[in-house]
Structure 1
Amino acid sequence: MSIAETYEALARLLEYPESSDTMLQSLWRIACYLEECGLDCPALPFTAMLTELTMGELQEEYVAQFDFNPAKAPYLAHHLYGNTQGKGAYMVKVKQTYDRFGYTPETKELPDHLSVLLNFLAHLSRIGEEDERRQFIAETVLPGVAKLAGSGGGSEWPWLPVIKTTELLLRTDCRETTT
């Protein structure tokens, strides 16, 4: 499995749920990739929720966790800048970067939604922009993911293992530039 496929799989876990089977397959792919890298997958406990809840319950949980709690929102500009002008500048920078590399999100989500950012990282990998991808991670994505991962919610937040896995993959990807 490639890094691009792994980023896409992570993105699917952070999008509005449509299929438990697709999410389980994505989780398995992420775990396999991390195992190939010699790493454990922090997201494996997420399997329990995917297998125990109906799709309706999973969708309700997603809305309750992400849409009704700003501390857990998957919009990185919010975590980095709150409701300041910096948030707008971040969004413009992200959108301009998407345009520069010919990326058009397949969703109506805002450009700073974590799933959109992860799909963009997959796009950069597919077009061979390794250095640009790692720089974008370090400067634009990882700081927001780190804040999201530390935003609270603790062990009772079901998506925390997915966020921690995202952070692990991003940090691992960035470290590859120094080896």
Structure 2
Amino acid sequence: MNKQSIAAGYRLLAELFVNPSQRDESNISNWIMNVKVDLPDVANIVEHFLRLDASLSSNEYVSTLELSPPCPLYLGTHLFEEPSTCSGISSSPRNAYMLELGGVYEHFGFDLGSIELPDFLPVMLEFAALSLEQEEKDTIGLRKRFVEKYLRLGIRPLSTRLEKFKSDYLLLMSAIEILVEKDLQRTADQPMWEPNDETAQSVPLPVLSNSNVDDVIKKCYEIEI
């Protein structure tokens, strides 16, 4: 499988999961062409989605995915319960999830600034593409962990929510699942970084060990969802 096709697929899906009023139609057309040969199922799903009225509706996007949404695009919200108090933020499971995501991003030089949270689906898809193009930076299997333990696990509960609310965006989730499986097939014989593995522990993740945790927590939660 051509990794350039997989990267184009991730970028295509990332673009389609932003508000229709903000999409770059030229990029969408180019990325569809890039995936047609190696990933025809992904191209067919996307082309079918783009023929639906919902794909062009900003109101549909906002009401389903953006404004107090029933199906938020922040994958961590589907994996962990939100803390009920401010004091619970620092010890919440989602906080550890955010910290590791931020650490993996920084390892690859992917800087979010203060624009978005690390678990925003379009951000994760864009990173999946970028890190695939920079595999030489990954010597311990960080990217494989990201795809398998963060992206794949997170899209499943989001798909369940979209199915419950009969959203046409569920189509795009099936395209992401195809990409993820093709991506992981490429690395089936490669190791994945595991924090509890003795070998992995001997190779610390620099951005996690050197980060100021309080600053990262503040940064993650100062953005309104």
Place the TM-score, normalised by the shorter chain, in its bin.
0.7 to 0.9
Give the structure with the higher percent helix. 1
User: Equivalent of 2:38, from 6, 31, 36?
Assistant: 36
Counterpart of 1:146 in structure 2 is: 156
Deviation per CA, 1:88-145: give whole Å up to 9, x if none. 1111111111112211138822110010001111111111257432221001111001
Contact 2:54 2:168 in 1 (8 A): no
Summarize deviations over 1:55-110 as a string: whole Å, max 9, x none.
6xx22211011024644111110011131411111111111111122111388221
1:1-179 to 2 correspondence within 5 Å? 1-17=4-20, 18-19=22-23, 21-22=25-26, 24-25=28-29, 28-29=32-33, 32=36, 35-37=37-39, 39=41, 41-49=44-52, 52=53, 58-68=57-67, 70-84=69-83, 85-105=92-112, 108-129=115-136, 131-154=141-164, 156-178=166-188
Q: 1:54 to 1:30 in 2, by over 3 A?
A: same
Cα deviation for residue 54 of structure 1 reads: 9.4
Q: 1: CA distance between counterparts of 2:129 and 2:93?
A: 26
Q: Which runs of 5+ in 2 are unaligned?
A: 84-91, 190-225
- Mapped partners of 2:24, 2:130: distance in 1: 24
**Equivalent residues of 2:6, 2:179 under 8 A apart:** no
The whole-number CA distance in structure 2 between the counterparts of 1:123 and 1:6 is 12
Cα distance in structure 1, aligned partners of 2:180 and 2:55: 30
Q: One-letter code of the match for 1:13?
A: L
Change (3 A) 1:106 1:122: farther
Name the SS of the counterpart of 1:153 in structure 2.
Answer: helix
Distance of aligned partners of 1:31 and 1:157 in 2 relative to their CA distance in 1, 3 Å threshold: farther
Larger Rg: 2
Distance of 2:177 and 2:113 partners within structure 1 = 23
- Segments of 5+ residues of structure 1 without an aligned counterpart are none
Aligned mates of 1:61, 1:27 — CA distance in 2? 24
CA RMSD of aligned residues (A): 2.9
Q: Please say if residues 49 and 172 of structure 2, whose CA atoms lie closer than 8 Å, have aligned partners that are also in contact.
A: yes
User: Is the CA contact 1:24–1:47 (under 8 Å) kept in the aligned structure 2?
Assistant: no
